[in-house]
Amino acid sequence: MRISAKISFIIFIIGIGFLSCHKTENTTENSSLNKEIERKVDSVLNLMTLEEKIGQTVQYSVGGTLTGPGSSSSSRDKHEKIKKGEVGSLLNVVSVARVREMQELVMENSRLKIPLIFAYDVIHGLKTIFPIPLGESASWDLDLMKQSAAIAAKESAASGLNWTFAPMIDVSRDARWGRIMEGAGEDPYLNSVIGVARIQGFQGDDLADNNTIAACAKHFAGYGFAEAGREYSAVTVGEFELHNMILPPFKAAAKAGVATFMNSFNDIDGIPATGHRELQRDILKGDWNWNGFIVSDWGSIGEMRAHGFAKDKKHAAEIALNAGSDMDMESYAYEASLATLLEEDKISLEHLNDAVKRILRIKFQLGLFDDPYKYCDEEKEKNDIYTPEHLAVARDAAKKSIVLLKNDHEILPVSKSVKSIAIIGPFGDNKNQPLGNWRGKGAYNSAVSLLEGVKAKVDANTKIYYEKGIDLLIPTVAPGERQFLHPLKINTENKDGIAKAVAAAKKAEIVLLAIGEDAYQTGEGRSQVDIGFAGLQNELLEAVYKVNKNIVLVLSNGRPMDLTHANEILPAILVTWQLGSESGNGIADVLFGDYNPSAKLPVSFPRNVGQEPLYYNQKNTGRPYHPKHVTYAGYTDVEKWPLFPFGFGLSYTTFSYDNINVDKATISSKEKITLSVEVTNSGNIAGEEVVQLYIRDLVASIVRPVKELKGFEKISLNVGETKTVTFTIDKEVLQFYTINKKWEVEAGDFQLFVGGNSATKLVQKITVE
């Protein structure tokens, strides 16, 4: 007679309870961990065979969705491994029914019945899609980003999932890199605080809550510094750049208790991140005392062969485990080689046990040992996904992510009683593109289009003319099929619709020109040498401009774009990114003044692609830029500075900054200074401003950036209202990784800048003795 899964699971838990009363040699000495969970982890580990231990380090993709190169293992082989308890995690299994089916394979067939953890790329929403992360980062609204991540977690948990591969916290300085859309841009501090907000949203206060899921800080490390913005390429940075610019967001994530890390595809100075012992085992697990587990990126263990760093898959497994990579995603290297490597003394049982303990620990924290089916609630799946409440937050996020770059002659906001509007461009009535790349389970053509959003706003008497003008892309996949792994083909020949677009523009008071980038021009594997308007878009822009100068550029984009020519001739520019499910409604809220834009750029926008990589926190050379001397740092054919700097964004009102003060001008390295500034709404309507604090260390043991963001506060001001904003300047603000190879505050002079963007010149000077 077969014992039921439930009964055998109870027997197993009783066994754990008994064993947990006895101290084992694997008991953790870290008092910050939950001691009860640690006893249970050790108890399970002591019950496991070698094959079962290795199995916990294995992650398979099961199902129809691929998020990397195709698997070399058959579904039948995978199912047999799962039934034996020799798989630790599955990805791309999304739905209560499928998750239950896979979990039952383990719970009804395996010896120890260790539950699986189910993962998916929930990057900016599962079914309710929020703005792409780069776009949402432009809101500089940490509470909003925490809320959107919490909704994504709730929908994921309702779909059977308990782990997401987000947030991406790679500092990204090069607009050519397609994956810049997935993070928070070019600044370490902004990436740090946004990353922590998203982690808190995903994980909540308790991972055992069935509305929360485990987060994953990625990609560790340096992925955003890929040479020339080429996907997966080499990263060449020194030790000080690594510690001061790349690692701070990851350290913040570790401190915030993120459950997992993911290593990156790139090498750093010749060592692939997946096999980088100093990063993973020494810094993350050692210096930072972090207790989660590290998962490889898709196939990155096996790909160390292509790097020329491992001679075969077995060698790759040896390098990866020794370096501290705990779980193998879709390389099949650990399952094939770890047992033999142990026999040959090329890896240690201590390191394998450490990896398994880390994985078990997260499963206990998620509550999966208490109830392996806790995420399999069909009622939650019916009721907690794509709800009106979630869509309302998506709309709020959309409007708060829109950056107003230009508004000559106050062309915006548009009156709702305007007589006629022409909506022109390939994204004017597009309901799919606003979902962006990495769109989870967002349904094809489910977004609110710009045309729909505008129609819902204006008076019944307003005439709306819509013409696509051109197709940006020539279809390469069937409608609704995932474009993720397929190349794009740009239309450069079919101009048939331009004449109709021109005719529509002639009849309209104002033109909304919806051009930019398709959702799949950015994202993983979507690096580009040209960041201007692809295909026939410039031709469309020029043709429309000849007949109607009253144009608002409604820019759709997943990266900074070269807007130099558009900025020269067009009176208004809105950066609307790819804003998700409620895109059209959010854009209309801003266009017609129901929301006063407050977003600020999380990345610099260049004058020319030749400026890339471009970032505000550069270091001076011995010959700082001078516009009248060619023998000083810069270009001879374009200004050195960006077209629109980091932190920039306009409002329908104006703000003035006055009376910047510090409470003392000289302090010791252990003291604090309070900086204050008065901010006044000097315009005609209420608005929000992001007040930004930057510092500069004038003389240091290593060359420091000309400015570094160290704080910000988003405030609301009524017309004529003044608020005093204060910042605390302390050790955390002033310290950096010095020539002594440690974080410390050095004595000397500092400049403190406050303003509405990184180009601010409002400054106070202080001295640290």
Active site residues: 297
Q: Which of 118, 65, 125, 64 is nearest to 87 (CA)?
A: 118
Q: Which of 126, 221, 123, 130 is nearest to 170 (CA)?
A: 221
Provide CB contacts within 8 A for 389, sequence distance 6+. Answer: none
The Cα 21–Cα 254 span in angstroms is 30
Q: What are phi and psi of 381, to 5 degrees?
A: -65, -35
Burial degree of 18 (CB within 10 A; 0-12, 13-18, 19+)? exposed
Q: What are phi and psi of 62, to 5 degrees?
A: -130, 125
The Cα 354–Cα 362 span in angstroms is 13
Give the N- to C-terminal CA distance of the chain in Å, as an integer.
79
Asked whether the bond before 413 is cis by omega within 30 degrees of 0, the reply is yes
Asked whether the bond before 131 is cis by omega within 30 degrees of 0, the reply is no
In this structure, is the dihedral angle defined by the CA atoms of residues 128, 603, 570 and 516, taken in order, positive or negative?
A: negative
In this structure, is the dihedral angle defined by the CA atoms of residues 745, 751, 756 and 759, taken in order, positive or negative?
A: negative
Helix axes 333-343, 349-365, angle to 10 degrees: 140
The Cα 345–Cα 340 span in angstroms is 9
Provide CB contacts within 8 A for 335, sequence distance 6+. Answer: 54, 55, 57, 58, 81, 86, 328
DSSP strands (E only) in 523-592: 551-556, 572-575
- Contact indicator for 571, 550 with CB cutoff of 8 Å: yes
For 37, the token pair is 């969970």
Q: Which of 89, 224, 306 is nearest to 524 (CA)?
A: 224
Does residue 251 sit in helix, strand or coil? Answer: helix
The CA radius of gyration of the chain, in Å to the nearest whole number, is: 27
The Cα 412–Cα 459 span in angstroms is 17
Half-sphere exposure of 153 (CA within 13 A, CB side): 30
Asked whether the bond before 219 is cis by omega within 30 degrees of 0, the reply is yes
